[in-house]
Amino acid sequence: MKAHTKETQATMTPDKALQFLKEGNQRFQQNLKANRNLLEQVNDTAEGQFPFATILSCIDSRVSAELVFDQGLGDIFSIRIAGNFINQDILGSMEFACKLAGTKLLVVLGHTSCGAVKGACDHARLGHLTTLINKIEPAVTAVKEPQDESLRNSKNLEFVDAVSEVNVKMAIDQIREQSKILSEMESDGEIAIVGAMYDISNGAVTFYE
């Protein structure tokens, strides 16, 4: 499989880009990797890159977007931060990727049993990590069940995963609210903005469409 070119990127639509990721995740789950020569792709992309999607995901070592979607060099922009939340620098990266570099799909990818979300559920405080966790805690508050405080912590994985899902959806809302550029591109049909959840137990990605 060759690296994407300006011509192949131009044929991409948001729907087609989403389908590419879905098919890649199916290959990943079945351990059927696409046939690609990474060194050849190094040469193919030496003078330019034409990715079709931008993915914001967690730094978790089990959730590499390139691997879980079976993509090669030059296929996707990968933005990673613990807890996959939004800030101005990440929005700037997304605006570059979509408006200037031509990607057609923007994905916010959370995952089950997220350590950053667990920290937010427990209201952990530790150095600079405190600032990071503060950005995720609104998602904890937004999840209303269970109401029993003894069950609203990292030991309750069902609660943790519910917070992770809300955190993804809140991130998407923030993208639309805080980036006029991305919001207008979505409204004009130039890009799609979607959320997704990766299951660390089986490798499956569920998209929120």
Number of H helices, E strands in the chain: 9, 5
Q: Which of 111, 112, 113 is nearest to 154 (CA)?
A: 113
The structure tokens listed for 96 are 């570059």
- Interior CA angle at 66 toward 64 and 68, to 5°? 65
Pairing of strands 192-198, 205-208: antiparallel
| 111 in a known ligand binding site | yes
Phi-psi group of 48: left, alpha or beta (phi > 0 → left; psi -120 to 50 → alpha; rest → beta): left
| 123 in a known ligand binding site | no
| 4 in a known ligand binding site | no
| 121 in a known ligand binding site | no
Binding site, annotated residues: 58, 60, 111, 114
Binding site, annotated residues for Zn(2+): 58, 60, 111, 114
